[in-house]
Amino acid sequence: MPGDSEQPKDERSDEQLMAAYVAGDERAFRVLFDRYGPVLFRLVRRRLRTDDEARDIVQTTLLHMHRARHDFRHDSRLRPWLFTIALNLVREHYRRRGRRKEQPLEIDGYSPAEPTVQPGTPIEDRQRAERLHAALASLPENQRTVIELHWFGDSPYEEIARIVGASVAAVRVRAHRGYERLRKILPENE
């Protein structure tokens, strides 16, 4: 991206940046925006129909962060707080529409925690991705959310528990059940 080489990387933690932003450092917000914009986009895009809807939710999430910046507890972690806001906004988006989404999840890359898949032709890869999208979409909401955050978001179970408002044990059970269902639905080589 243009300008990336001009600005040195800000090594402050998310929480330090948030504290600086609350204290009036506008540059800290820009760093948080650059750091979390793409992460939030990937998180919410899997649940929404279009890139435009995802961009709107990301902007609204960051607007909520701005408006609630003085309410942010300084002993809390920023990432779960932002993910909770974003996921709540996605749920609200569908409540306003009066129905759940119909489009399967979009997967825009694999995390290191994913099972390895042998590369195939572009058509085979697309078919494999479609099967995975459909399998994920068939999971109950609570299992799918945990798997998305764990598998695709590379979040630890402790963080996921804070995001979804459940105990770590409950999150582990949801993940286990979801992964087991995926194993039954997907062929062995997926």
pLDDT at 130: 75
Instruction: Assess if residue 4 is contained within a domain.
Output: no
**pTM of this prediction?**
0.59
DSSP string, 137-189: HHS-HHHHHHHIIIIIT---HHHHHHHHTS-HHHHHHHHHHHHHHHHHHS-TT
Flag whether pLDDT at 109 surpasses 70.
Answer: no
Instruction: Assess if residue 172 is contained within a domain.
Output: yes
Q: Which of 51-65, 76-90, 103-117, 166-180 is predicted least confidently?
A: 103-117
Instruction: Assess if residue 1 is contained within a domain.
Output: no
Domain count for the chain, please give it.
2
Flag whether pLDDT at 124 surpasses 90.
Answer: no
The confidence band for 90, taking pLDDT boundaries of 50, 70 and 90, is: confident
Could you tell me if 122 and 152 lie in one domain? Answer: yes
Could you tell me if 82 and 128 lie in one domain? Answer: no
Q: Which is more confidently placed, 100 or 28?
A: 28
Q: Distance (Å, rounded) from C-alpha 25 to C-alpha 19? A: 9
Q: Which is more confidently placed, 4 or 128?
A: 128
The confidence band for 154, taking pLDDT boundaries of 50, 70 and 90, is: confident
Q: Which of 33-42, 88-97, 101-110, 150-159 is predicted least confidently?
A: 101-110
DSSP string, 11-47: ---HHHHHHHHHTT-HHHHHHHHHHHHHHHHHHHHTT
Q: Is 140 left (phi over 0), alpha (psi -120 to 50) or beta?
A: beta
List Cβ<8 Å contacts ≥24 apart for 70-74.
Answer: 70/22, 72/18, 72/22, 74/15, 74/18, 74/19
Could you tell me if 98 and 156 lie in one domain? Answer: no
List Cβ<8 Å contacts ≥24 apart for 129-133.
Answer: 130/104, 131/186, 131/187, 131/190, 132/107, 132/186, 132/190, 133/104, 133/105, 133/106, 133/107
Q: Distance (Å, rounded) from C-alpha 137 to C-alpha 41? A: 18
Kindly tell me the sign of the dihedral angle through the C-alpha atoms of 92, 48, 168, 82: negative
Could you tell me if 94 and 126 lie in one domain? Answer: no
pLDDT at 6: 55
Domain with 137, as residue range(s), is: 113-190
Query: Rounded mean pLDDT of 25-47?
Result: 91
Averaged pLDDT of the chain: 79
Domain harbouring 64, CATH code: 1.10.1740.10
